Amino acid sequence: MSFFNSFAEKHPKAAKWIREGGLFIIFSYVVTFIKYLLLTFLPKFYEGIVGQTEWVWPGIRTSIAGVPFTLSVIGNSLADGGLAFTLANYTAIILGECINFPLQRNVTFRSHGPLAPQILMHALGTFGVMLVMNLFTCIWNPLTAAFGIPDAIRNIVTTVATGGVSMIIIFAIDKTIFAPGFGEKKAKA
């Protein structure tokens, strides 16, 4: 620890970035693991409620390299779990962010800024990332399944890829919304 303390004294901004980045990654991976665990049983739970129902938007049927899939920004085709998987995924995301947001705000960034705007901006960022990641997985899953990649490998790669992209985008958002002075009214000159 004396090395890091010495480093922090000489390079306080770099040390802050390292601390925040490290904690952000640790908390994000813990939350990602929790989401992964939820996705092991929630799809079957929701399937018992909604059955085999497809729910996609815009639901454009197309193909790449001869592999058909349904292009969707919101929802999943039946081949990708349908409404049951969509509800499970959204539940996991919401519960995960209920854990992630306070950890990042209070521990990683030590923010005391205005809570309501921070929650709103974090939620909008999470929603935007969710839409982009849904678009990615509606293409990725059918392609990898068609090429015979086992589900376990595909799920790990999907989790790491979507989680990695999400972390970069959400880190940038959190770095902004948890910065000192965010949301404070500017004094009129």
Q: Give domain status of residue 24, yes or no.
A: yes
Of the pLDDT bands very low, low, confident and very high (cuts 50, 70, 90), residue 151 is confident
Q: What integer is the mean pLDDT of 59-68?
A: 94
Per mean pLDDT, which range of 48-52, 106-110, 141-145 is the poorest? 141-145
Q: Give domain status of residue 182, yes or no.
A: no
Q: Does the pLDDT of residue 13 top 70, yes or no?
A: yes
Q: Does the pLDDT of residue 162 top 90, yes or no?
A: no
Number of domains composing the chain: 1
Q: In terms of Cα–Cα distance, which of 34, 182, 41 is closest to 98?
A: 34
Range of the domain at 98: 2-177
Measured between alpha carbons, how far apart are the two ends of the chain, in Å?
46
Q: Give domain status of residue 183, yes or no.
A: no
- Give this prediction's pTM: 0.84
Q: Give domain status of residue 185, yes or no.
A: no
Q: Does the pLDDT of residue 167 top 90, yes or no?
A: no
Q: Give domain status of residue 184, yes or no.
A: no
Query: 76 exposed, middle or buried (CB, 10 Å; 0-12, 13-18, 19+)?
Result: buried
Q: Give domain status of residue 189, yes or no.
A: no
Q: Give domain status of residue 21, yes or no.
A: yes
Q: Give domain status of residue 57, yes or no.
A: yes
